[in-house]
Amino acid sequence: MGIVVIPAYKPDEKLPRLIRDLKDAGVSSILVVNDGSGAAFDGVFREVEALGCELLIHEVNRGKGAALKTAFRHLSERGCREVVCTADADGQHLPVDIVACLKEAEAHPGALIIGGRGFTGNVPLRSRLGNAFSRHTFHLFTGVKVYDTQTGLRAFSPDLLPLVEGVKGDRYEYEMQMLCDAAKQKIPVREIRIQTVYLEDNASSHFNAFHDAMRVYGILLKNGSGIAYQIFTFLLSSGLAFLTDFLIYHLLLTLVFREKEISLFGVTVLAATLSLLIARIVSSVVNFTVNRQAVFKSDGKVWNFVGYVLLAIAVFFGQKTLNNFFYYDLNWHASLAYLVAQLICYPVSFLVQKLVIFRNKK
């Protein structure tokens, strides 16, 4: 029927119970990874071996992703030719759902099968909200629809072992990176609905709500692509540039240049003017760097900054011209004229940066 891989860190009696239920359901090959649980849990793992499971051991805790990759490398080295299914050790994946994922992987070789929870019934609010946010963010950043991005119940045919072995990340971010890698390599992701099980308000989970969540969303930001992702991060980049400009201007004006006029190389200039110039230069460098590396992920060189500066100048005068036209010629309200001018110039700036300045030749 296939092989079930279970990474386990400090498991309780739920792990042997799951294994017995899997054996009763017809699953004969089960590989368990003891991820540095410590001597206090040796009894649980002795019971696991007594039930006929193969056991791999990490001497120290290395994380769920590392445990899974240890299992996948082991399967590759022994020439695995069966479908593989990963499941959690805390009893939240039912044997009937694990078997269903194995059968789905057998029916669809080359696809990544995930068991998606519907999040119905008694589900902790943090889990419901966290999964909803990650679901929509993943779709926005990759264009792939997956209802349950955090599920550990996944199955695949043996030809995908090289993919899952090469996924970066050693902890909970590994599973999100796996989905991102599948999306980038155009590997079909098939989702089947499974039962949502949360035992004791998910008390047995080792997922850290802050640190692990930051790793997961960091993976999404790093791997995002597509027009929706670029628009979203373009807006964030613009906001960061605005804050940088604002803070540097006021810091210079109030803490550095305390006089209204200062002497610079024998020339008297207004402190406000000099503060604005320095702030604008710094914020432009910040915006250019973020857009090139994070928004458009350009493989271009730093000399693209020349094109960026020319665009910024063109956008400035274009916005000013439109603003004056709407305000003076059409007699619009000043705020409305400014807003419409911005709405016209902003997408133009985005498209020119995407298609010209930061265009990836590859």
DSSP 266: T
Assess if residue 342 is contained within a domain. yes
- Report yes or no: 154 and 113 within 8 Å, Cβ to Cβ: yes
Residue, of 360 and 284, whose pLDDT is higher: 284
Closest Cα to residue 149, out of 189, 195, 109, 121?
189
Assess if residue 8 is contained within a domain. yes
Q: Give yes or no: residues 175 and 277 share one domain.
A: no
Q: Give yes or no: residues 349 and 259 share one domain.
A: yes
Tokens found for residue 338: 């400014």
Q: Give yes or no: residues 219 and 313 share one domain.
A: no
Neighbours of 162 (CB within 10 A): 10
Q: What is the mean pLDDT of residues 1-16?
A: 93
CA distances from 138 to 108, 164, 255, 257 (A): 23, 19, 43, 46
Q: Give yes or no: residues 153 and 258 share one domain.
A: no
Q: What is the mean pLDDT of residues 319-336?
A: 90
Domain membership of residue 144 as a residue range: 3-223
Q: What is the pLDDT of residue 199?
A: 57
Residue, of 331 and 231, whose pLDDT is higher: 331
Q: What is the mean pLDDT of residues 239-260?
A: 85
The pLDDT tens digits of the residues spanning 183-218 come to 888 899 999 998 877 655 444 454 545 555 666 666
Q: How many domains does the chain have?
A: 2
> Which CATH number covers residue 73?
3.90.550.10
Assess if residue 46 is contained within a domain. yes
pTM: predicted TM-score of the whole model, two decimal places: 0.65
Residue, of 265 and 28, whose pLDDT is higher: 28
Looking at 223, 250, 270, the residue that finishes a domain is 223
Q: At 189, phi and psi to the nearest 5?
A: -115, 115
pLDDT higher than threshold 80 for residue 288: yes
Assess if residue 139 is contained within a domain. yes
Q: What is the pLDDT of residue 203?
A: 45
Assess if residue 278 is contained within a domain. yes
Q: What is the pLDDT of residue 197?
A: 78
Q: What is the pLDDT of residue 139?
A: 77
- DSSP E strands in the chain: the ranges are 3-8, 29-35, 54-58, 84-86, 112-117, 154-156, 189-194, 261-264, 267-270
CA distances from 12 to 16, 101, 127, 203 (A): 8, 24, 22, 12
Q: Give yes or no: residues 70 and 173 share one domain.
A: yes
Q: Give yes or no: residues 157 and 233 share one domain.
A: no
Assess if residue 22 is contained within a domain. yes
Q: Give yes or no: residues 198 and 337 share one domain.
A: no
Q: Give yes or no: residues 22 and 170 share one domain.
A: yes
Looking at 223, 241, 264, the residue that finishes a domain is 223
Assess if residue 362 is contained within a domain. no
Closest Cα to residue 111, out of 102, 98, 99?
102
Looking at 186, 208, 223, the residue that finishes a domain is 223
Tell me the pLDDT band of 125, cut-offs 50, 70 and 90.
Answer: low
Q: Give yes or no: residues 200 and 247 share one domain.
A: no
Q: What is the pLDDT of residue 206?
A: 47
CA distances from 179 to 41, 169, 273 (A): 32, 12, 49
Mean pLDDT (the chain) is: 85
Q: What is the pLDDT of residue 348?
A: 92
Q: Give yes or no: residues 216 and 231 share one domain.
A: no
Q: Give yes or no: residues 131 and 251 share one domain.
A: no
Q: What is the pLDDT of residue 62?
A: 94
**Structure-token match 């240049």, residue found:** 257
- Report yes or no: 234 and 291 within 8 Å, Cβ to Cβ: yes
Assess if residue 239 is contained within a domain. yes
Q: What is the pLDDT of residue 192?
A: 93
Q: Give yes or no: residues 152 and 292 share one domain.
A: no
